Amino acid sequence: MKSINWLMCVFLCVLSIAGVACGQGVGTSGAISGTVVDPTGAVVEKATVRAVETAKGIQHSTVTDHSGQYRFSGLPPAVYSVTVEAPGFATEVQNTVVVTLGETASADFHLTVAAVSSQVEVVEVQAQPSAVDTQLSSQSNTLGQMYINELPIDRRDYLTFTLLMPGVSESSVIADSRSLREKQVPQSGLSFYGNNGRGNDITVDGGTFNGYSGFVIANVSQDAVQEFQINRSNYAASLGSASGASINIVTKSGGNKMHGALYGFFRNDALDARDPFAFNQALSPGQPFALNAQAQPVKNALSRQQFGGTIGLPIRRDKTFFFAAYEGLLQDQQASVPLMLNSNIFGPSDAQAPILGGLAAEGATPVPCRTGQPAVAASVCAGILQNILTANPSSSPLKQFIVNQFETNGGLLPFPRQSHQFSSRLDHIFNDTNQGTLRYVFAHLSQSDPAIESLTGFSQAYSELTWTNSLQGSWVHTFNANMLNEFRAQWNINQYNFMPNDPGGPTIAVTGFGSFGRNLTLPNISTERDYEFADNFTHLYGKHMFQMGVKELLRGNRTASSTFLGGDFIFGN
């Protein structure tokens, strides 16, 4: 009864704080539960159960209750060795109990009577993972190292593995055609049951990594990810803050053994075949104007190096652990933008050419050529119309401007890209009841012309520069085997710069042939600072588990943007 009263006091205190906060925190752990019985099937009460994290040697202890059940909550995802000891029974061990993020591993024990001997008898049992988590009602999947290490992936974007799960699809088309936000602002690229890609909540070690418009902030590299959980539907209130799905990423930590990896990937156009869709422009600046110029096939250049490494080590065995990861990408690439494959687009259309030819064949026959003007010879009229319907750059400054846009906005264009991702994590065990974690993330991305498409000119594309700094500290305090608390604080600063290739020119759309000039919302320079504080409390009471928490996210944003000038020109065929 005293425990219930104490619990109600804590709950009322949390409610009073929640009046100025938003939502609850997000955990980054799993659990182990099970039942201990004797050879007859009767439950064993007050048996000592120990769970030891294999890589770090961290030990957690509890005892079974009157129904022979035990539970460890708040365990980091890892492999554990679970041992049960009880008077009169042989010690039993399950060495490969795998705890995954947000799920409860089941480890039941059937003890045998100890033999009469002076030696301690230990029975080792192979752990069998449960096919279904009976304590989880949400629709979720956890993607661990088997997916991350063994499945092939383009661009080393591990979140793309989410597309292998049911109910998940690519959201780029949905966002482009239905989102009212500007195209330059990135989004997760993942649609859960038809939701927009900006409606998902992405966390790293429980800390929010969503930008002010719902997009995913650049975070850790693929080799720094321990596992991540995808909560698609019906997930708990502690995983709120999303109209779509909640994706919870947990980073790797060091262990008692030093381990690491180095890798590098290399690509070059010398090893590639020519892109069959790569052509230069039919006309180039300074080239004499002609209506029969043809684009020629070309081979686009590519030099791509992606490299990185990880290291994990103990600073103090069984106490302090360190892990760091780095991944870099240097890419110089050319891509073809086929705006003008044939210069005949600047002349009369296929339907107009026979009319002009017929007029020329009439010779000196007088014909009305222009409204309000006297009749002229048919051949003269053909020449006048030919000049009007041809965008010859020497005939007027406007036609020279239009032709020049096609000459300079297509062909082989550069697509350079550089990215760097660094993360480090320090874990320290203060004592049996307190442990802390400090994690730092730096990510940098610069790329040019990410918006280039087949009918989009170089001047309407933009360059992107984004970088992120994130620092997170967390503290887990265990009051007893049935009660623990997690506190977490995180600071993020994010920079997003989108600069147009044509900062001062007008927007021009030539219907059916291409669009040039600056974008509607560019340039756009934004700086965002986030301060996040969260506290989660878990209490086991009999067969019941109570969880409560509070999270405060303070966000500041400074944005610089500008207006635009636009126009629409239609000519030719």
Q: What is the C-alpha to C-alpha distance for residues 209 and 183, in angstroms, rounded to an integer?
A: 20
Weakest-pLDDT range from 76-85, 131-140, 199-208: 131-140
Give whichever of 338-347, 447-456, 514-523 has the largest mean pLDDT.
338-347
Residue where the block lists tokens 């400054």: 397
Q: What is the C-alpha to C-alpha distance for residues 551 and 18, in angstroms, rounded to an integer?
A: 8
Chain centroid offset of residue 248 CA? 11
Interval 63-79 mean pLDDT: 87
What pLDDT does residue 526 have?
A: 83
Residue 483 has pLDDT above 80, yes or no: yes
Residue 433 has pLDDT above 90, yes or no: no
Rounded alpha-carbon distances, angstroms, from residue 536 to 17, 74, 87, 203, 547: 13, 10, 36, 15, 7
Interval 505-515 mean pLDDT: 72
Angle between helices 378-389 and 352-361 in degrees, nearest 10: 150
Q: What is the DSSP letter of 418?
A: E
Q: What percentage of the chain carries pLDDT values higher than 90?
A: 18
Dmax of the chain from CA atoms?
A: 127
What pLDDT does residue 26 have?
A: 47
Q: What is the C-alpha to C-alpha distance for residues 7 and 9, in angstroms, rounded to an integer?
A: 5
| Distance linking the first and last C-alpha atoms of the chain | 86
Order of all β-strands in the sheet with 201-204: 139-143, 225-233, 246-251, 201-204, 207-208
- CA nearest to 100, candidates 136, 60, 59, 48: 136
Instruction: Tell me how many helices (H) and strands (E) the chain has.
Output: 6, 31
Q: Which residue has the higher pLDDT, 84 or 502?
A: 84
CA dihedral 97, 313, 227, 436 (to 10 degrees): 90
What pLDDT does residue 303 have?
A: 93
Per-residue DSSP letters for 465-525? Answer: EEEEEEEEEEEEEEEETTEEEEEEEEEEEEEEEEEESSSSSPEEEETTTEEES--TT-SEE
Residue 134 has pLDDT above 50, yes or no: yes
Q: What is the C-alpha to C-alpha distance for residues 361 and 363, in angstroms, rounded to an integer?
A: 5
Length of the chain: 573
Record the pTM.
0.77
261 forms beta bridges with: 310
Sign of CA dihedral 216, 218, 222, 228: negative
Q: What is the C-alpha to C-alpha distance for residues 448 and 413, in angstroms, rounded to an integer?
A: 10
> Residue 211 has which token pair?
């930008």
Q: How confident is the model at residue 117 (pLDDT cuts 50, 70, 90)?
A: low
Question: Residue 368 is which amino acid?
Answer: P
Q: How confident is the model at residue 1 (pLDDT cuts 50, 70, 90)?
A: very low
Chain centroid offset of residue 242 CA? 15
- CA nearest to 433, candidates 496, 477, 465: 477
Q: Helix/strand/coil (H, E, C) string of 256-301?
A: CCCEEEEEEEEEEHHHCCCCCCCECCCCCCCCCCCCCCECCECCCC
Residue 507 has pLDDT above 60, yes or no: yes
> Residue 20 has which token pair?
């100025």
Strands 259-268 and 246-251: unpaired
Residue 9 has pLDDT above 70, yes or no: no
Q: What percentage of the chain carries pLDDT values higher than 70?
A: 81
> Residue 142 has which token pair?
């956890």
Sign of CA dihedral 221, 226, 230, 234: negative
Q: Which residue has the higher pLDDT, 59 or 2?
A: 59
> Residue 378 has which token pair?
């048919």
Residue where the block lists tokens 């070059």: 268
Residues 20-32 as b/e (b if ≥16 CB within 10 A, e otherwise) read: ebebbbbbbbbbb
Cβ atoms of residues 475 and 533 within 8 Å: no
Interval 399-407 mean pLDDT: 85
Q: How confident is the model at residue 51 (pLDDT cuts 50, 70, 90)?
A: very high
pLDDT in tens, 187-241: 677 777 777 777 788 888 888 888 776 677 888 898 999 888 888 766 666 666 6
Question: H helices of 409-521, where?
Answer: none
What is the CB-side half-sphere exposure of residue 95 using CA atoms within 13 A?
Answer: 5
Cβ atoms of residues 299 and 254 within 8 Å: no
**Average confidence score pLDDT of the chain:** 79
Q: What is the C-alpha to C-alpha distance for residues 388 and 403, in angstroms, rounded to an integer?
A: 15
Residue where the block lists tokens 């009864």: 1
Q: What is the C-alpha to C-alpha distance for residues 174 and 307, in angstroms, rounded to an integer?
A: 33
- CA nearest to 456, candidates 349, 566, 334, 336: 336
Cβ atoms of residues 143 and 481 within 8 Å: no
> Residue 410 has which token pair?
């297509």
Residue 468 has pLDDT above 50, yes or no: yes
Cβ atoms of residues 73 and 484 within 8 Å: yes
Chain centroid offset of residue 110 CA? 44
Q: What is the C-alpha to C-alpha distance for residues 250 and 252, in angstroms, rounded to an integer?
A: 7
Q: What is the C-alpha to C-alpha distance for residues 329 and 564, in angstroms, rounded to an integer?
A: 34
pLDDT in tens, 247-296: 888 899 998 999 999 999 999 999 888 888 888 888 888 888 888 889 88
Q: What is the C-alpha to C-alpha distance for residues 427 and 322, in angstroms, rounded to an integer?
A: 6
